[in-house]
Copies of this chain bind each other. A is one copy, B any other.
Amino acid sequence: MVEKIDARGKSAAEIVGRLRRPDGFLSVRIRGAARGIVEGVREGGDAALLDYTERFDGVRPENVRVPAEEIESARDSLSPELKDSFAFAIENVRAFHKRELGRGWEMHRNGATVGQRVRPIRSAGLYVPGGHGAYPSTLVMSAVPAQVAGVGEIRVCTPPGTDGTADESVLAVAGLLGLDEVYALGGAQAVGALAFGTETVRRVDKIVGPGNDYVTAAKLEVFGVVGIDAPQGPSEVMVLADAGAFPERVARDLMAQAEHLSGASAVLLTPSEELIRGVEPLLSGEPSELITLVRVRNNAQAVEISNAYAPEHAHVISEDHEAILQDLDAVGMVAVGDFSPVALGDYAAGPSHALPSGGAATWASALGTRDFVAHTNYIHFTRDALGEIGPHVQRLARLEGFENHAESVSVRMK
């Protein structure tokens, strides 16, 4: 059953409070389970890794690391059409992230130089989910930004299927991207292996990529030991559409989001009762239970609700789309205009589809090159410049009781 809400007399907070938003990865039970598993891998290494894989994936793979020939053969078995489409997607994602990549800079003033260098992190672990389906596109969306950033070592973990091997389409993309380190490992145990290392899996500096609740909870557990990206929960879209939108298109947009299932959420915000009447009969099946149709006063209230909810995706279908885009605040990715279904961004437009959900868009961003670089600040003072800054530093250091800090300046000013 599609849920319908009349928001016209209500506050944004009230509406957001009524929208479903599962955050299982924060639950005490799942956090505890994930903690147990990553600790188990930390202590037990490969043996524990294989035990957990047998327990959760029902297989005990012969090779945890996928042999190079399997990757090559998966790549070579790809149809020419799929090869072409992956190449198209990879090119767009690469172009977007080349533009996004930060650059170092330097400032000078009276003999004082301060600056910032941008450097790739040395190793990254990319999690590619599996289980219910296979997501080769997710590997494109995390590996390409990592490669553009210049990450030296990239390790990919993706769950084994019932035959104990990694999904062939994921391996094919690894082959297209020249990635040769792929492990048929999933779940919290894969995260534990990447964070602490085992006999066969070397630890990485940072782990990124979406996964199920256990994967996300495991990443939160190991944060601090390694870096992680923002947690990514069930997928969400808010479609802000007004009377000019076509019901059959909007219905597809909502169904597309909802067909992710697993707690996904698709919300239509529209001032048009007619649009709601047109869309509703086109929604069906299990996904339709994840869809909410919200009648709003006007576009301004739609924006207000979206900003309060902070969705992973927004899709704006309105003649005023440029103005609405400017007013949207907390949101991971915005698809603008009727000819830009969110699916373009999911697969090939350029930005990564690894996006903050569950409200994390208030403080987090799409996965990007900035997740794969770190910044080193530096300062370089001449004797004269030291003469200018020195007395201030001495005064402030002494205020805080740090005499040696002050003296590290004095000893150079004599």
Chain A interfacial positions (CB closer than 8 Å to B):
23, 25-26, 81-82, 84-86, 88-89, 92, 95-96, 99-100, 102, 105, 107, 109, 112-114, 116, 119, 121-122, 133-137, 169, 205-206, 216, 220, 223-227, 230-231, 246, 248-249, 252-253, 255-256, 258-260, 287, 321, 325, 328-352, 356, 360-366, 368, 370, 374-383, 385-386, 389, 391-393, 395-397, 399-409, 411-412
Contact = CB atoms under 8 A, between A and B. Distances in A.
A143 B334 CA distance: 30
A385 B366 CA distance: 23
B412 A363 contact: no
A375 B365 contact: yes
A381 B340 contact: yes
Given A363-B121, A363-B227, A386-B344, A255 B404 contact: yes
A92 B249 CA distance: 53
Contacts of A337: 380-381
Contacts of A343: 393, 397, 402, 405-406, 408-409
Nearest to A351: B377
30 contacts: A26-B225, A82-B395, A82-B396, A96-B114, A100-B116, A107-B350, A113-B336, A122-B362, A136-B400, A223-B223, A227-B230, A227-B363, A255-B404, A255-B407, A256-B402, A256-B408, A330-B374, A331-B376, A333-B376, A334-B379, A335-B378, A335-B380, A341-B409, A344-B389, A346-B393, A347-B397, A348-B396, A349-B379, A364-B374, A365-B374
A186 to B, nearest CB: 17
B224 A256 contact: no
Given A114-B350, A224-B25, A259 B402 contact: yes
Contacts of A331: 376
A407 B81 contact: no
Nearest to A336: B380
User: What is the count of identical protomers in the complex?
Assistant: 2
A400 B85 contact: no
A168 to B, nearest CB: 11
A338 B399 CA distance: 24
A255 B410 CA distance: 14
Contact of A362 (B81, B109, B374): B374
A389 B348 contact: yes
Contacts of A338: 412
Contacts of A225: 26
A34 to B, nearest CB: 12
Given A81-B395, A112-B349, A362-B121, A339 B383 contact: yes
A116 B99 CA distance: 10
B205 A362 contact: yes
A343 B334 CA distance: 44
Contacts of A119: 329-330
Given A81-B395, A348-B396, A363-B374, A379 B99 contact: no
A373 to B, nearest CB: 8
A344 B392 CA distance: 9
Contacts of A89: 392, 396
A137 B392 CA distance: 12
B374 A350 contact: no
A269 to B, nearest CB: 17
B334 A378 contact: yes
B169 A399 contact: yes
A376 B378 CA distance: 29
A331 B364 CA distance: 24
Contacts of A100: 105, 116
Given A344-B381, A347-B396, A348-B393, A249 B401 contact: no
